[in-house]
Amino acid sequence: MTALDLRRRATSRAVEVFCAASVLLALVPLGFILFFVLRQGVPSLRPEFFTQMPKPVGEPGGGMANAMVGTLILIGLATLIAVPVGVVSGVFLSEYKRSRMGSAVRFAADVLNGVPSIVVGIFAYSVAVLPFRRFTALAGGVALGVMMLPLIVRTTEELLRLVPESFKEGALALGATRSRAVWTVILPAALPGIVTGILVALARVAGETAPLLFTSLNNRFFSTRLDQPIASLTVQVYTYANSPYEDWHRQAWAGATVLIAAILVFSLMARFVTRRLERMHRGTA
Amino acid sequence: MSRDVETPSEPGIRIRTEVRAPEAPPAAAGTAITLRQVNFAYGDNHVLHDVSMDVDEKRVTAFIGPSGCGKSTLLRCLNRMNDLIESAHLTGSVLVKGRDIYAPGTDVIAVRRRVGMVFQKSNPFPKSIFDNVVYGLRINGVHDRATLDAAVEKSLTLAALWDEVKDRLHHSALSLSGGQQQRLCIARAIAVEPEILLMDEPCSALDPIATLKIEELIYSLKERYTIVIVTHNLQQAARVSDKTAFFWLGRMVEYGPTAALFTNPREKLTEDYITGRFG
Q: What is the pLDDT of residue A186?
A: 93
For chain B, say whether A184 makes contact (Cβ under 8 Å). Answer: yes
State the average pLDDT for chain A: 90
From the list B113, B127, B174, the residue facing A175 with the nearest CB is: B113
For residue B56, list its beta bridge partners.
B31
**Cα–Cα distance measured from residue B128 to residue B142, given in angstroms and rounded to the nearest whole number:** 17
Q: What is the pLDDT of residue A223?
A: 85
Close Cβ partners of A181 (under 8 Å, ≥ 6 residues apart): A167, A168, A171, A172
A134 found inside a domain: yes
Closest by alpha carbon to A67, among A224, A253, A278?
Answer: A224
Question: Quick check: A174 and B139 CB within 8 A?
Answer: yes
A86 found inside a domain: yes
- The model's pLDDT over A140-165, given as tens digits with 9 standing for 90+, comes to 999 999 999 999 999 999 999 999 98
Q: How far is B234 from chain A (nearest CA, A)?
A: 26
* Element counts in chain B: helices (H) and strands (E): 10, 10
Under 8 Å between Cβ of A54 and A254 = no
B16 found inside a domain: no
A260 found inside a domain: yes
What is the mean predicted confidence (pLDDT) over A236-244?
91
Distance in Å from the first CA to the final CA of chain B: 35
For residue B196, pLDDT beyond 80: yes
Closest by alpha carbon to B117, among A168, A186, A180?
Answer: A168
Under 8 Å between Cβ of B210 and B46 = no
Measured between CA atoms, the residue of chain A closest to residue B139 is A176
Band of the pLDDT at B206, cuts 50, 70, 90? confident
Band of the pLDDT at A285, cuts 50, 70, 90? very low
Under 8 Å between Cβ of A160 and A91 = yes
Alpha helices in chain A (DSSP H): 3-41, 47-51, 65-95, 100-114, 117-124, 137-162, 165-173, 178-181, 187-206, 210-213, 233-242, 246-282
Question: Quick check: A283 and B171 CB within 8 A?
Answer: yes
User: Domain limits at B229?
Assistant: 30-274
Q: Is A90 exposed, middle or buried (0-12, 13-18, 19+ CB in 10 A)?
A: buried
ipTM score assigned to the predicted complex: 0.82
For chain B, say whether A281 makes contact (Cβ under 8 Å). Answer: yes
For chain B, say whether A167 makes contact (Cβ under 8 Å). Answer: yes
Q: What is the pLDDT of residue A283?
A: 53
For chain B, say whether A191 makes contact (Cβ under 8 Å). Answer: no
Q: How far is B127 from chain A (nearest CA, A)?
A: 7
Band of the pLDDT at B279, cuts 50, 70, 90? low
A3 found inside a domain: no
Question: Quick check: B175 and A164 CB within 8 A?
Answer: no
Q: What is the pLDDT of residue B90?
A: 92
Band of the pLDDT at A282, cuts 50, 70, 90? low
Q: What value, to the nearest 5°, has the Cα angle with vertex A143 and ends A215 and A156? A: 170
Closest by alpha carbon to A216, among A227, A207, A201?
Answer: A227
Question: Quick check: B119 and A185 CB within 8 A?
Answer: no
Number of separate domains in chain B:
1
Question: Quick check: A174 and B127 CB within 8 A?
Answer: no
Neighbours of A129 (CB within 10 A): 23
For residue A25, pLDDT beyond 90: yes
B142 found inside a domain: yes
Band of the pLDDT at A1, cuts 50, 70, 90? low
State the number of CA atoms in the 13 A half-sphere of A255 facing the CB: 33
For residue B22, pLDDT beyond 50: no
A47 found inside a domain: no
Question: Quick check: B125 and A283 CB within 8 A?
Answer: no
The distance of Cα A227 from the centroid of its chain, to the nearest Å, equals 23
From the list B79, B174, B188, the residue facing A281 with the nearest CB is: B174
The distance of Cα A175 from the centroid of its chain, to the nearest Å, equals 39
* Rg of chain A over all Cα atoms, to the nearest angstrom: 23
What is the mean predicted confidence (pLDDT) over A270-274?
84
Question: Quick check: A180 and B139 CB within 8 A?
Answer: yes
Torsion sign (Cα): A158, A162, A166, A168:
negative
Measured between CA atoms, the residue of chain B closest to residue A187 is B126
In this prediction the pTM is 0.80
Question: Quick check: A169 and B81 CB within 8 A?
Answer: yes
A123 found inside a domain: yes
Q: What is the pLDDT of residue B3?
A: 42
**What CATH number does residue A133 fall under?**
1.10.3720.10
Q: What is the pLDDT of residue A281?
A: 66
User: Domain limits at A211?
Assistant: 65-282
Percent of chain A topping pLDDT 90: 62
Q: How far is B224 from chain A (nearest CA, A)?
A: 18
B199 found inside a domain: yes
B71 found inside a domain: yes
Q: Which residues from chain B sit within 8 angstroms of residue A175, using beta carbons?
A: 109-110, 112-113, 136, 139-140, 192
For chain B, say whether A277 makes contact (Cβ under 8 Å). Answer: no
- The model's pLDDT over B225-259, given as tens digits with 9 standing for 90+, comes to 999 999 988 999 999 999 999 999 999 999 999 99
Measured between CA atoms, the residue of chain A closest to residue B134 is A174
For residue B8, pLDDT beyond 50: no
Looking at per-residue confidence, does A58 or A42 come out higher?
A: A42
Number of separate domains in chain A:
1
**What CATH number does residue B169 fall under?**
3.40.50.300
For residue B13, pLDDT beyond 90: no
B20 found inside a domain: no
B216 found inside a domain: yes
Under 8 Å between Cβ of A216 and A232 = yes
Question: Quick check: B84 and A180 CB within 8 A?
Answer: no
